[in-house]
Amino acid sequence: MNIILSEKIKENIRDIQDFPKRGILFKDITPIFELPDLCTEILEGFIEALSNSKIDAVACIESRGFFFGMLLAQKLRVPFIPIRKKGKLPYKTLSLDYELEYGTETMEMHVDAIKPGQNVLIHDDVLATGGTALAASQLIMKAGGNIAGYAFLLSVGFLEGDKKLQFISQNIITLAEY
């Protein structure tokens, strides 16, 4: 991990207590977007960490995964694939139900977004329990894709989300860890 970059990211994350519900310390990444030079460094940090990975597409999780996800896909010169909440994508979709702390959620991806055998990187802003990234992996594998790895801006270490993902890919990149 690049400690200098990690510290710069942390300095520009705003902690919001009890959002969106009581007991959650929400990591607000929007202050980072006000700093174009830091955004460039973050993008370069991802690219450097992924330099040995074979990536054919970047799948990004709605909605905060879209911000750096599109930049990352463009920089890697590979397709950007949006994974969205149920009912948001206009064309035919593949969907996957997954468990959240309270109840279930459904995520969707366009049915033709992935070509079988493609190596897909999954990107999101935060890795917490790992449930969301795990569900995204299952959706991509359902479409015939391979998981090339994971790239997160930050992870919440004590929740051990990486343990849920390691059996799929050990290529788990996080630029800052709490």
Residues that bind ligand AMP (CB under 6 A): 24-27, 61, 64, 124-132, 161
Q: How far is the CB of 24 from ligand AMP (least distance, A)?
A: 6
Min dist CB 116 to ligand AMP, Å, is 26
Least spacing, CB of residue 50 vs ligand AMP, in Å:
20
Q: Return the number of the residue (55 or 150) whose C-beta is nearest ligand AMP.
A: 150
At which residue do the structure tokens 């059996």 appear?
167
* Euclidean distance between CA atoms 110 and 161, whole angstroms: 26
**DSSP conformation class of 20:** S
Which C-beta is closer to ligand AMP: that of 12 or that of 132?
A: 132
Q: How far is the CB of 17 from ligand AMP (least distance, A)?
A: 10
Determine contact, residues 95/86, Cβ cutoff 8 Å: yes
Contact 71, 166 (CB under 8 A): no
- Amino acid letter for position 158: F
Residue among 55 and 172 whose Cβ is closer to ligand AMP: 172
Q: Is 101 a catalytic residue?
A: yes
Q: Please check whether residue 111 is in contact with residue 96, taking contact to mean a CB–CB distance below 8 angstroms.
A: no
Nearer to ligand AMP, 102 or 116 (CB): 102
Q: Which of 30, 39, 28 is nearest to 5 (CA)?
A: 39
Helix, strand, coil percent content, the chain, rounded in steps of 5:
35, 35, 35
Question: What's the CA gap between 32 and 27, in Å, rounded?
Answer: 11
Whether residue 64 lies in the annotated active site: yes
Q: Which of 41, 64, 105, 160 is catalytic?
A: 64
Residues with active-site annotation: 64, 101
